[in-house]
Amino acid sequence: MVCITNNPDGSREYKNDFPTKPEDQKLDIQQGVLYKTKFYLAGAMQNDSSGNNWRIEAEKELSNMGIFCFNPYLKPFLDSDKLEEGNEAHQLFKTWMKEGRLDLVAERMKPIRNFDLNCIDRADAVICKINPNVPTWGTPEELSLCSQIRRPTFIFIEGGREFCPYWILAMFNPKYIYNSLDEIINVLKDINSGKESINNDKWRLLKPQFR
C-alpha cells in the first residue's frame, strides 16, 4: 500500500509499504492482480486550477489496492524538484509569457514534457480525465503515446460519455470511456479481485516478484 501524507506547506510525502522479503512478494487474494503496478494520471493542468483534486482522489483509492500513481503535479525523478508543474508555476509562466520571455517557458517545459511522457512509458496503465470545455495540449500527446504503445487507458469525460470528443473514439475502444472516476475505480477493483479478466497482450503485467 502507498501511504500519502499531505504536509501543511502543500507538499506530499509517499511511503511504500510493499513487502521487501522475497517470500512476501507472491501474489495472494489480499494483494490482488494489480498489486504493485503503476498508473499515470493524465489530464488538463494549465487551464484547470483544480486539476490535482481528482488525481489526489485517484491516488487514495488506488493506493488501497497497492497501486502507485505517477501524478504529474509531483515529478518522481531525481533532480525534478525545481520542475514542478502546479498552479504557482503556471502563474510564473503567464508572467513570462506577458513579458515576451517565451524562451524561459520553453526551457522549463521541455524537461517537464520529457518527464511526463517517460512516466507513461513506465506505467502499466493510464487514467485520463477529459473536460471538453477545457483546452489542453499535453493530454492529446500523452493519449497519442498511449495509443501507439498500446498502454491500457481508462478515460472519464466531464459531463458524461456523450460528450466524448469524436477523435478519442477513433483512438480508444468506447468500452474504456467512462462517465466518472468512480466508474473507473470500480472497474479496477473488479480487475484487481479477478472478477474481471484482462487482456494480457495489452496489459503486459510483470509477475509480482518482478514489479
Read off the pLDDT band of 7 (50, 70, 90): low
Burial label for 102, CB within 10 Å (0-12, 13-18, 19+), is: exposed
DSSP category for residue 82 = G
Q: What is the 3-state secondary structure (H, E, C) of 185-210?
A: HHHHHHHHHCCCCCCHHHHCCCCHHH
Sheet holding 68-70, edge to edge: 68-70, 38-43, 125-130, 153-157, 177-178
Q: What is the pLDDT of residue 8?
A: 53
Q: Nine-digit cell at 43?
A: 489530464
Q: Where are the alpha helices (DSSP H) in the chain?
A: 51-63, 87-98, 102-122, 138-148, 166-171, 181-193, 200-203
Read off the pLDDT band of 201 (50, 70, 90): confident
The Cα 75–Cα 11 span in angstroms is 12
The Cα 184–Cα 191 span in angstroms is 11
- What is the distance in angstroms between the CA of the first residue and the CA of the last residue of the chain? 14
Q: Can you tell me the mean pLDDT for 132-158?
A: 96
Comparing 11-25, 137-151, 164-178, 182-196, the range with the smallest average pLDDT is 11-25
Q: Can you tell me the mean pLDDT for 143-152?
A: 96
Q: What is the pLDDT of residue 85?
A: 79
Within 10 angstroms of residue 174's Cβ, the number of other Cβ atoms is 10
Within 10 angstroms of residue 104's Cβ, the number of other Cβ atoms is 15
User: For residue range 81-119, what is the model confidence (pLDDT) as tens digits?
Assistant: 667 777 788 899 999 999 999 999 999 999 999 999 999
User: Three-class SS of residue 105?
Assistant: helix
Read off the pLDDT band of 79 (50, 70, 90): confident
